Structure 1
Amino acid sequence: MLEEDRIAEAAAHVRNTLGLDHPAKVGIILGTGLGGWASQLTEAQSVPYAEIPHLPQATVSSHQGALWHGRCNGLPVLVLQGRCHLYEGYTPQEVCRLVRLLGALGVRTLVTTNAAGSLNPLFPAGQLMRLTDQINMTGSNPLTGPNLETFGPRFPDMSEVFDPELGRLADTVALEQGLRLERGVYVGIQGPSLETPAETRMYRCLGGDAIGMSTVMETIAAAHMSMRQLGVSCLTNQNLPDCQAPTSLEEIIAQAEASSRQLTLLLEAVCGALATHQ
């Protein structure tokens, strides 16, 4: 079966299950430890990934695996409660099927969140960072192979992956909410092993400010579909190569959950601002 047909079948199932007569134009991806935000939507309804045809299943316990439709501050949104990763054994195309599903459902603006380690010594754990650019160090690209003409061109432009106007909006509402919002470059690696001190030095020398095991595949696929994008990282730990402390997934999840209040304030403010511009 062609990839376009898989996504079309998945989109038709979601429309029928959730009754999406007027689907949302804004999509949100919730990363590690951040899925609880979906329960705060109003007029909310959801469908598990397992019930949607052709979707890969999230195998990480901190990714609940459901697609939600509801409102945040009056703005209709589609929310991915969890994602899939390359390290789970999925192909780049499978990892991006959820994002392409959002595009097939009508999403034109994508807000991506993740949990990430800080590479910048000035960005402490517990802070939020707005993504200004990304470095794909996974060795993979979801656009490899036959081009999906339905979604975009063979060679999409990547000069502004993250929309400057959305970035300025996020900066403004963060200031209004009293939130510190760092700005930096996200490095995406395949994982699942965490980076060594030597790798940390290398990624920092390359210009990275935060590092994680998601997002870069999705943002490439979204750029292919000409979506406007805003990316936000919850910085869960600080990688200081000369005194790098051991960490674990449990500690990362705990810090992401602790930072979720800040993320909630930011997402609600961004959604409220977007609602006034529709």
Structure 2
Amino acid sequence: MIQEAAEFVRSRGFDGRFDAAFVLGTGLGPLVDEVGDAVSLAYADIPHFPKSGVSGHAGKLVAGTLEGKRVLLFQGRAHYYETGDAGAMRLPVAFVQALGVPVFVATNAAGSVRADIRPGSLVAINDHLNLSGANPLLRDHTEGRFVSLTDAYDPDLRQVLQRAAKKSGIALPEGVYAWLSGPSFETPAEIRMVQTLGGDLVGMSTVPEVILARYYGLKVAAISVVTNLAAGIEGASPSHQETKDTAAEASEKFKTLIRSFVAELSHV
């Protein structure tokens, strides 16, 4: 399936070498507007590709040039809560490896469990808490399933992100991302649990992709756009519309950071 998808995409203009692949979270798809010489395919047209039916996820694969580098952009993802399968993104991540892309960057819209990390902030993820009870490598019978997640978020890429943020004048704190399954938002009690466990952010994606990317030997970075305060923080009661609206408001800052990051990739 992986090779079939890769060969199909190559035959549609997605050939040559890519420097990085990005999965774009809720409301972050407009990054594709920055890409030159773009070619695109709907996920629905790619053999075996998972579909995303969530508002704010266009469901397209885009390739092109950004800051002189070749990039691959996934406009949206399939979520565990849509499919019931924590490995729903396995084929796309394996596909990135099959195309020879060395760097995998996951992005998401996230809630902040800290009052000092406000909506509109960007945060570089430095670790995660898997609180979903699921794992994308369940039922994998290879030795590779015992993948180490120490430094899953590559220290060198995190340094590149910090250099890019500094050059762009963007504050970029680091934080721990807690994955809960969704689709319902977290309860205030669950947010207090995340705080107690050392989490800074909470969301419904990304962690399965990171586990899979490490399984396939990719270097990983991840960025959250904070779209809301989590439930119970200053009386917050999150909504999907708030998530989309705040992601749209932060999109220019997000685009600036990604452009600067891509420009710095040659220094990894």
Deviation string for 1:187-228 (max 9, x for gaps)? 011100101111110011111100000000000000101211
Whole-angstrom CA distance in 2 between matches of 1:169 and 1:36: 22
Equivalent residue in structure 2 for 1:86, among 80, 89, 93: 80
Instruction: Kindly indicate whether residue 70 of structure 2 is the aligned counterpart of residue 95 of structure 1.
Output: no
| Counterpart residue number, 2:12 | 17
Change (3 A) 1:173 1:19: closer
1:106-144 superposed Cα distances (whole Å, 9 cap, x missing partner): 111111110000012221111000000011111111111
Task: Spell out the pairing of 1:181-200 with structure 2 (5 A cutoff).
Answer: 181-200=172-191
Shift of 1:242: 5.7
Question: In the alignment, what sits opposite 1:235?
Answer: 226
Distance change in 2, residues 1:252/1:19 (3 Å): closer
CA distance in 2, matches of 1:19, 1:126: 33
CA positional deviation for 1:251: 1.0
1:128 and 2:119 are equivalent in the alignment = no
> Structure 1: which 5+ runs fail to align?
1-5
Aligned to 2:21: 27
Q: Structure 2: how far apart are the matches of 1:89 and 1:81?
A: 18
- The residue aligned with 1:260 is 251
Question: Aligned residue for 1:104?
Answer: 98
Structure-1 separation of matches of 2:168 and 2:183: 35
The alignment status of 1:155 with 2:149, answered yes or no, reads no
1:143 matched to 2:134? The reply is no
Taking the aligned partners of 2:231 and 2:198, their CA distance within structure 1 comes to 15
For the residue of structure 1 that corresponds to 2:141, the secondary structure is: coil
Distance 1:162 1:265 in 2: 21
* C-alpha separation in 2, matches of 1:244 and 1:14: 47
In the TM superposition, what whole-angstrom CA distance separates every residue of 1:233-264 from its partner, at most 9, and x where no partner exists? 00001126364222211111000111111110
TM score, norm. by length of structure 2: 0.96
Aligned match for 1:172, one of 163, 172, 195: 163
Distance in 2, matches of 1:79 and 1:267, equals: 12
Query: Aligned in 2, Cα 1:148/1:266: closer, same or farther, shift over 3 Å?
Result: farther
2:60 corresponds, among 66, 82, 89, to: 66
Q: In the alignment, is the contact (CA less than 8 A) between 1:49 and 1:65 conserved in 2? A: yes
Paired residue type of 2:247: A
Give, in whole Å, the separation in 2 of the partners of 1:28 and 1:174: 17
Cα offset for 1:19? 4.7
User: In the aligned structure 2, how far is the partner of 1:227 from the partner of 1:244?
Assistant: 40
Alpha-carbon distance between aligned partners in 1 of 2:131 and 2:174, rounded to the nearest angstrom: 20
CA distance in 2, matches of 1:254, 1:156: 37
Tell me how far apart the structure 2 counterparts of residues 10 and 174 of structure 1 sit (CA, whole Å): 35
CA offsets 1:64-116 (integer angstroms, 9 cap, x no match): 01111101100101111111101112412223321221111111111111000
Counterpart residue identity of residue 10, structure 1 = A
Question: In structure 2, how many angstroms separate the alpha carbons of the residues matched to 1:9 and 1:148?
Answer: 22
Using the TM superposition, name which of 84-93 and 202-211 deviates more. 84-93
1:225 and 2:216 are equivalent in the alignment: yes
Q: Which amino acid aligns with 1:26?
A: A
The answer on 1:56 being equivalent to 2:79 is no
Q: Once superposed, what is the RMSD of the aligned Cα atoms?
A: 1.5
8 Å CA contact retained: 1:84, 1:90: no
**Distance verdict in 2 for CA 1:219–1:113, change over 3 Å:** same
Counterpart of 2:83 in structure 1: which amino acid? G
SS in 1 for 2:255: helix
Say if 2:2 is the partner of 1:7: yes
Mapped partners of 1:19, 1:76: distance in 2: 10
Distance of 1:49 and 1:122 partners within structure 2? 38
What secondary structure does 1:221 align onto? Answer: helix
SS where residue 166 of structure 1 aligns?
A: helix
Partners of 1:28 and 1:147 lie apart in 2 by 28
Unaligned runs of 5+ in 2: none
Show the counterpart of 2:206.
Answer: 215
